[in-house]
Chain A
């Protein structure tokens, strides 16, 4: 897909994120905005999926390991046609299928229920093992948070993915540098992320997580790798696109008030 078009959709996704979190009165805008470009590219350009047939055989699958960024996942799925965009404002409301964290049993296109950090990569390992057993061409994608990789289970999975040569896995670390209590460095140092994965035997790529062309190139390179799993360390800005949310840990899990919502809509060009 054309880069300008992808960027336009990513902006719509950002508008959807802010609208749904504002309507919910709670949620996680910061990490949703930082991963918006990555998810948009995956769902509109990279992955072999069909909204008309969410269970299509041989499809690519995506696991949102950082499940709290689900406003971004829901927005992308809705924009891609898995369910109506109008439904996004039911996020986190009683009776809504758009739960506070992704539920695969309720929402078409959601491949795995997540929310508790650190589990997504292991699930990808299982999916990738199954794909290899079945000669299924479907690739397995995941987005992890940088804070999330503090979970030990991520490194258990990182070991297993290399041990079993799961080149059908492409993981992305949404490296926005911030987590709930502050920066990674203040809370628990995760750098150098690339070297850690390299040490575990992964194919490591790094790029700007908001540059569609750079991301596209990285996913293409991941596809070329036939022996090892690939991790793309995507440098991002938490809260990207909304000036007062950018690089603010405080916007990890907080909804904008009406005034802030209006300001965000002006910046993103969205209707209020």
Chain B
């Protein structure tokens, strides 16, 4: 079964979507900081060279210039690796894009541990935390190629600053081609009333595998794809808290400030329940193959299962 599952990296979907959107939206401008081959913005460059700007290895300037283009009526997708976009250029994104509500889409690739061999300097686990603290910033983390394409299109069509988290590694396709998505509305992709697994990004596929394993143990797990981290779907979280009484969060991001924190912010105020967080613990990553690293840093289906068992024992 498993070997038949189609895998696509969300960055590939990004490149493809940019070309499609570039055809219908003449105001779409794409920028990169010398990583267009890796982020796949190079696909847009091939078709629309006049609307593509390589800003060199200068992320701060790229996001400042993105603000200038956006404040001149353009829709800007500006890409680099997630570490450099949200880390190095944070304050420019905050002040020149966030504060001005500029129509800039920070589409950052190579997020999380699945960067793999490049190691700790390139593996960011802080990006969601950083971006979601900026007032008015929409934060989207697609779980597969299908949702990536549809969510990127919506992000480009809506007005205002947004952060889209994309990955390097090919990940399983979770959704059918005709599945529809709405920013701010999470998807309950598996029903269950014993425990809820709220996952985001590439951890959604792991969450589905975890639910299969739990079912064999007689535990019915609800699985929610929280592809919008901000604005977060409060309703679906409260419903899950009330109906299942226990939540496991799963993200390829630090457990400090990411999805787990965002979910807890909701449950703590609206419906306190036990929560266990699966994600990068308070540590840096290291070099290795993505799948090995997911195991080493405890971000697999088995880790979600362990968290679910743990929470149900208490």
Contact = CB atoms under 8 A, between A and B. Distances in A.
A160 B56 contact: yes
A153 interface: yes
A241 to B, nearest CB: 31
B70 A126 contact: yes
Q: Interface range on chain B: under 10, 10 to 19, 20 to 34, or 35 or more? A: 20 to 34
A8 interface: no
Nearest to A157: B61
A178 interface: no
A123 B96 CA distance: 8
Interface string A80-115: 000000000000000000000001110000011111
Given A119-B96, A156-B58, A160-B61, A133 B51 contact: yes
Of all A-B residue pairs in the complex, the 6 with the closest CB atoms, nearest first, are: A126-B68, A122-B64, A130-B72, A156-B61, A126-B65, A156-B58
A47 interface: no
Interface string B45-58: 00000110101101
Contact of A116 (B62, B63, B71, B95): B95
A125 interface: yes
Contacts of B286: none
A262 interface: no
B31 to A, nearest CB: 9
Contacts, number: 105
A131 interface: yes
B234 to A, nearest CB: 27
B67 A126 contact: yes
Interface of B: 29, 50-51, 53, 55-56, 58, 60-74, 76, 91-92, 95-96, 99-101
Given A113-B100, A123-B64, A159 B56 contact: yes
Contact of B64 (A131, A134, A153): A153
Q: Which of A115, A126, A160 has the most CB of B within 10 A?
A: A126
A122 B60 contact: yes
A105 B61 contact: no
Contact of B65 (A113, A122, A136): A122
A164 B65 CA distance: 12
A127 interface: yes
A164 to B, nearest CB: 7
Contacts of B69: 126-127, 129-130
Contacts of A156: 55-56, 58, 60-61
A157 B51 contact: no
